Amino acid sequence: MKKLSRQDLFGLEAYAEARPAFRQQVIEHKKMRQIALGPNATLYFEDRLTIQYQVQEMLRVERIFERSAIDEEIEAYNPLIPDGANWKATFMLEYPDVEERHVALGKLGGVEHNVWAQVEGCARTTAIANEDLERTNDHKTAAVHFLRFELDAASIRGLKAGAALNMGIDHPAMTCSMEVPEANRNSLLQDLTDGDA
């Protein structure tokens, strides 16, 4: 998937005009890129459009218009765009009650290393977690993690041929699995360009 460049972005004034329609487009797009693995665990899959929106919003909020500062934002966010043989997702452990969240995160150490995806008939792919820094310590895990699902060629071929996709978590304090709905599966399929061989 093509990375973002400065030429792909709206200037601040143009973005102010385009923002309402662009924001609505992104909101609708994101609905198909969100997978609830359970009541408290959700994957939010990134792609070029979701990252463009994040960059545009950052530039808007921070009032960034200098070329070098824009390039820094692009450089920071581009690694979150899928590379053609993977999915990149924000993994959130969501508990509305603060005390419940504190207790749950204390039991879920390492959960980010136990999130998986599996194409029907293929080997399971365990996500690679938090490549920038570790987010679990001896006392608890973080509520937000960054995951990369690196798919093999057989899994990509299987998805392109219509095979079902399952995702889940295997952790002593949180075990779940589910079949990804077709609309979400089709959206994630758009991230994959490799595996045709």
The answer to whether residues 142 and 173 belong to one domain is yes
Q: How many domains does the chain have?
A: 2
* Confidence (pLDDT) at 197: 40
Tokens 């601040």 found at: 12
Judge whether 1 lies within some domain.
Answer: no
SS (H, E, C) 68-134: HHHHHHHHHHHHHCCCCCEEEEEEEECCCCHHHHHHHHHHCCCHHHHEEEEECCCCEEECEECCCCC
CB 149 within 8 A of CB 159: no
CB-CB neighbours of 155 under 10 Å:
25
CA-based nearest residue to 175, from 120, 107, 98: 107
Q: Which residue has the higher pLDDT, 196 or 193?
A: 193
Q: Which residue has the higher pLDDT, 197 or 119?
A: 119
The answer to whether residues 124 and 164 belong to one domain is yes
* Confidence (pLDDT) at 194: 59
pLDDT in tens, 39-89: 999 999 999 999 999 999 999 999 999 999 999 999 999 999 999 999 999
Q: Which residue has the higher pLDDT, 140 or 135?
A: 140
CA-based nearest residue to 86, from 54, 42, 117, 130: 117
Judge whether 151 lies within some domain.
Answer: yes
Bridge partners (DSSP) listed for residue 41: 38, 93
Residue 196 has pLDDT above 80, yes or no: no
pLDDT in tens, 84-138: 999 999 999 999 999 999 999 999 999 999 999 999 999 999 999 987 767 777 7
**In which domain, by residue range, is 133 found?**
86-189
Distances (CA, A) of 109 to 46, 134, 194: 24, 11, 33
Judge whether 194 lies within some domain.
Answer: no
The answer to whether residues 112 and 179 belong to one domain is yes
